[in-house]
């Protein structure tokens, strides 16, 4: 894989047009905007948008740019408002995007000035999957379910396992000095880096915390088993199992009295997948990553709890991305459990967490070492696991590879990426103007 695919300006512009202009992109979680008028401001494929629940309760996504002269309409990260008023000349829009107020309209504009032509625009496709709000700028995009393909089954398993998940606290945000693809491909299935990058937490025993999880007493690191799963359309995930000697589902990090309930809320194959995992992580192509794990670390003030994190790698330019991290907890957790899960999230995979401090050093280093003409002329290696075949004895959707340390998932991500880059028709569809492509 050419390094210019990561660090070239032209390549970045092409992927913004053809990958982010075409795909379904994560915008927000429904629990962030529970009431009419609630909104958050986000990026959607390089465009600033307002994700809002309108007065009738529908979720809408509006371009955060005034139709008069393009000023940013809403400058807050989140809030509640029935209208958005532009700070430049005062045009006012309802939270459905309708232009309602034009100051000095009769003095400034002709009598036939038609307000209805200047409503806010938004992506033509918006849909919600188990609380996750997605949108696509492509009017000809397939349905969200078609786009998710086999990944829908896995996402559902993660999101239904804990019942009704909700985002707790405002998302953490950071500008990271690296290309968005480097983080996404790591979450897509890089089990290979664990033994080196994360050797210190492994050596500290955080992977097998028998004090927190007595069920792990007889388990050794050798019994850990990882699998890589290709779920189509560039979506992939990696699961890591403990080899527990039990036929009963074990949901580490959830109260034991809830295990039977959790299993009964999933189909048997999903329960088989979700029980006994130490960690499951993946990437919904292109840039929504997720991790579901039991806190391997605990302390006097934090018992062993589950945590779920969504994280989005928002491209800024070829050398930078904005990382947004959402902590999710079951709605049925009490206040104390919620606080413990949120703290575990921060400690394990937060911006200053045990794992991410290791990862960020490598990801930013790759960017720094890829600025020169010579370094950019060399290629990255994605040959891990070439030739391996999917297992035929696992009844999970997609292609399941009985191998942990391979690069099969990353190749699927880049297969989809290059497929979209080769499609010349995408830009015309998104903007409707061939001369802008």
- Contact residues toward ligand FES (CB under 6 A) are 66, 68-69, 71, 86, 88-91
Q: Per the structure block, which two tokens stand in for 64?
A: 């955060």
Q: What minimum distance in Å lies between the beta carbon of 192 and Fe ion?
A: 10
Distances (CA, A) of 233 to 4, 154, 272, 322, 389: 23, 14, 24, 24, 18
Q: What minimum distance in Å lies between the beta carbon of 117 and ligand FES?
A: 15
Residue 105 vs 173, nearer CB to ligand FES: 105
Binding at 420: pick from ligand FES, Fe ion, none (beta carbon under 5-8 Å per type): none
Binding at 91: pick from Fe ion, ligand FES, none (beta carbon under 5-8 Å per type): ligand FES
Q: What is the DSSP letter of 435?
A: G
Binding at 359: pick from Fe ion, ligand FES, none (beta carbon under 5-8 Å per type): Fe ion
Binding at 360: pick from Fe ion, ligand FES, none (beta carbon under 5-8 Å per type): none
Residue 101 vs 232, nearer CB to ligand FES: 101
Residue 101 vs 142, nearer CB to ligand FES: 101
Binding at 371: pick from Fe ion, ligand FES, none (beta carbon under 5-8 Å per type): none
Beta strands in 269-420 (DSSP E): 277-284, 288-294, 306-317, 320-330, 399-401
Phi-psi region of 45 (alpha: psi -120 to 50; beta: other; left: phi over 0): left
Q: What minimum distance in Å lies between the beta carbon of 70 and ligand FES?
A: 6
Q: What minimum distance in Å lies between the beta carbon of 362 and Fe ion?
A: 8
Residue 38 vs 359, nearer CB to Fe ion: 359
Q: What minimum distance in Å lies between the beta carbon of 227 and Fe ion?
A: 17
Distance separating alpha carbons of residues 28 and 167, to the nearest angstrom: 10
Q: What minimum distance in Å lies between the beta carbon of 91 and ligand FES?
A: 4
Peptide bond into 286 cis (omega under 30): yes
Binding at 68: pick from Fe ion, ligand FES, none (beta carbon under 5-8 Å per type): ligand FES
Binding at 332: pick from ligand FES, Fe ion, none (beta carbon under 5-8 Å per type): none
Going by C-alpha positions, the residue among 248, 306, 245, 259 that lies closest to residue 278 is 306
Binding at 89: pick from Fe ion, ligand FES, none (beta carbon under 5-8 Å per type): ligand FES
Q: What is the DSSP letter of 94?
A: E
Would the CA dihedral through 178, 184, 252, 218 be positive or negative? negative
Distance separating alpha carbons of residues 290 and 288, to the nearest angstrom: 7
Q: What minimum distance in Å lies between the beta carbon of 60 and ligand FES?
A: 19
Q: What minimum distance in Å lies between the beta carbon of 228 and ligand FES?
A: 49
Q: What minimum distance in Å lies between the beta carbon of 121 and ligand FES?
A: 14
Distance separating alpha carbons of residues 42 and 310, to the nearest angstrom: 15
Distance separating alpha carbons of residues 204 and 194, to the nearest angstrom: 14
Length of the chain: 437
Going by C-alpha positions, the residue among 11, 17, 397 that lies closest to residue 227 is 397
Binding at 85: pick from ligand FES, Fe ion, none (beta carbon under 5-8 Å per type): none
Phi/psi at 397 (5° precision): -65, 160
Residue 89 vs 331, nearer CB to ligand FES: 89
Q: Per the structure block, which two tokens stand in for 144?
A: 């969200």
Residue 71 vs 80, nearer CB to ligand FES: 71
Residue 87 vs 200, nearer CB to Fe ion: 200
Residue 88 vs 109, nearer CB to ligand FES: 88
Q: How many other CB atoms are found less than 10 A from the CB of residue 319?
A: 18
Residue 66 vs 162, nearer CB to ligand FES: 66
Residue 138 vs 359, nearer CB to Fe ion: 359
**209 contact partners, CB below 8 Å, separation of at least 6:** 216, 296, 297, 298, 304
Q: What minimum distance in Å lies between the beta carbon of 75 and ligand FES?
A: 13
Binding at 364: pick from ligand FES, Fe ion, none (beta carbon under 5-8 Å per type): none
Distance separating alpha carbons of residues 113 and 302, to the nearest angstrom: 62
Distance separating alpha carbons of residues 123 and 430, to the nearest angstrom: 9
Alpha helices by DSSP H, listed for 172-277, are 180-189, 194-197, 199-203, 259-264, 268-274
Which stretches of the chain bind Fe ion, using CB under 5 A?
A: 359
Going by C-alpha positions, the residue among 87, 79, 86, 71 that lies closest to residue 35 is 79
């Amino acid at each position: 894989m050419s390094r210019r695919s990561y660090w070239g300006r032209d390549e970045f512009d092409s992927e913004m047009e053809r990958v982010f202009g075409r795909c379904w992109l994560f915008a927000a979680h429904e629990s962030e905007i529970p009431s009419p008028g609630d909104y958050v401001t986000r990026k959607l494929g390089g465009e600033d948008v307002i994700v809002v629940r309108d007065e009738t309760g529908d979720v809408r996504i509006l371009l955060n740019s005034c139709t008069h002269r393009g000023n940013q309409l809403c400058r807050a990260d989140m809030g509640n408002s029935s209208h958005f008023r532009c700070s430049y000349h005062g045009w006012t829009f309802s939270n459905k995007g309708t232009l309602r107020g034009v100051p000095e309209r009769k003095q400034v504009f002709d009598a036939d000035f038609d307000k209805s032509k200047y409503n806010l625009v938004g992506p033509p496709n918006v849909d919600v999957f188990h609380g996750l709000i997605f949108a696509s700028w492509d009017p000809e995009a397939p349905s969200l379910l078609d786009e998710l393909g086999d990944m829908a089954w896995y996402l559902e398993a993660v999101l239904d396992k804990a019942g009704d998940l909700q985002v707790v606290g405002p998302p953490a945000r950071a500008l990271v000095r690296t290309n968005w693809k480097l983080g996404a491909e790591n979450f897509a299935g890089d089990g290979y880096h664990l033994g080196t990058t994360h050797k210190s937490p492994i050596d500290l025993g955080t992977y097998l915390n028998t004090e927190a999880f007595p069920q792990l007493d007889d388990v050794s690191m050798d019994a850990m088993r990882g699998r890589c799963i290709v779920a189509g359309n560039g979506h992939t995930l990696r699961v890591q199992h403990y080899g527990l000697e039990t036929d009963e589902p074990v949901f580490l990090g959830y109260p034991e009295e809830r295990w039977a309930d959790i299993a009964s809320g999933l189909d048997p194959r999903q329960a088989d997948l979700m029980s006994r995992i130490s960690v499951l992580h993946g990437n919904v192509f292109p840039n929504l990553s997720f991790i579901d794990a039991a806190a391997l670390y605990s302390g006097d003030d934090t018992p062993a709890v589950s945590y779920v994190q969504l994280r989005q790698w928002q491209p800024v330019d070829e050398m930078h991305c904005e990382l947004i991290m959402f902590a999710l907890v079951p709605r049925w957790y009490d206040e104390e459990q919620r606080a413990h899960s949120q703290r575990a999230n921060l400690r394990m995979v937060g911006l200053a967490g045990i794992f991410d401090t290791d990862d960020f050093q490598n990801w930013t280093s790759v960017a720094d070492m890829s600025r020169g003409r010579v370094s950019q002329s060399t290629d990255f290696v994605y040959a891990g696991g070439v030739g391996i075949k999917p297992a035929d004895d696992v009844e999970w959707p997609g292609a399941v590879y009985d191998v942990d340390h391979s690069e099969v998932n990353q190749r699927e991500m880049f297969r989809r990426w290059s497929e979209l880059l080769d499609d010349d028709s995408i830009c015309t569809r998104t903007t409707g103007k061939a001369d802008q492509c």
